[in-house]
Homo-oligomer: A and B are copies of this chain.
Amino acid sequence: MQKYVPSCKEEQDFLESYDPKAFDSVAVTVDAVIFGTARKPSANYRKSDELSLKILLVRRKEYPYKDSLALPGGFVLLNETLEDSLNRTIKNKTGLKDVYSEQLMTFGEVNRDPRMRVISCAYMSLLDSEKANVVDAEWFDIDSLNNLDIAFDHKEIINLALAKLREEINYSDIVFHMMTDEFTIGDLQKVYELILGQPLLAAAFRRTIADKIEDTGKMSGNLGHRPSRVFRYKGNHN
């Protein structure tokens, strides 16, 4: 933003004598709900690798909620924007830059942090987790969320992100941020199913996404598995 220019000496004096420390202290954090897809080899060699939907969480090393899992994030520094703070967190935990993110909602319950008044601006980020080089954090299956001990109100934030993701994949292309560059329609359908939490009919699914993808001319080569056509996302994410 452009630097503000005081209109007169009086205003300049007012701004110079303004004491931020005179107010009650509120802290602002950015917390990131980072979703990714990961592939793990199937136990049955005749079946293709299984895709799963993951969330990146951090084990807390300090009070409060020591040893619980929390969303990656932290206090917003005085000289960084919310997006700077988010991108710094994502870079630190995954090694990735330019990750797709959108602001989710800001959480401001009075007692949500026992240390002090903390207002958290939550973001949702989507990536292909196999591109990530995870440091000081861990991927968890979305299915396992109910069994995890989650700190603060972060479970509520995660549930809101999941609801938003479910809504948005129906009218946007954001799901492709979580796909490898090339994929089979089966892979893509699986990711939709994981997000929506229900199986989809293959024929109907193909119609839904037909306009968004294009055939690469290649075939997938999973051992012991019938080869499938390989596609790529046709649009661009601008």
Contacts and interface: CB of A to CB of B under 8 A. Distances in A.
Interface residues of A, number: 46
Interface in A1-41: 1-4, 6-7, 10-11, 14-15, 18, 20-21, 23-28
B108 A82 contact: yes
A150 interface: no
A124 to B, nearest CB: 13
A76 B108 contact: yes
A28 B20 CA distance: 12
> How many copies make up the complex?
2
B79 A110 contact: yes
A135 interface: no
A106 B121 contact: yes
Interface stretch (A89-97, A111-119, A183-191): A111-119
B81 A116 contact: no
A105 interface: yes
A1 B110 contact: yes
A156 to B, nearest CB: 10
Interface of A: 1-4, 6-7, 10-11, 14-15, 18, 20-21, 23-28, 63-64, 66, 75-83, 103, 105-106, 108-112, 114-117, 119, 121, 153
The 4 closest A-B pairs by CB, nearest first: A82-B108, A20-B25, A4-B114, A20-B116
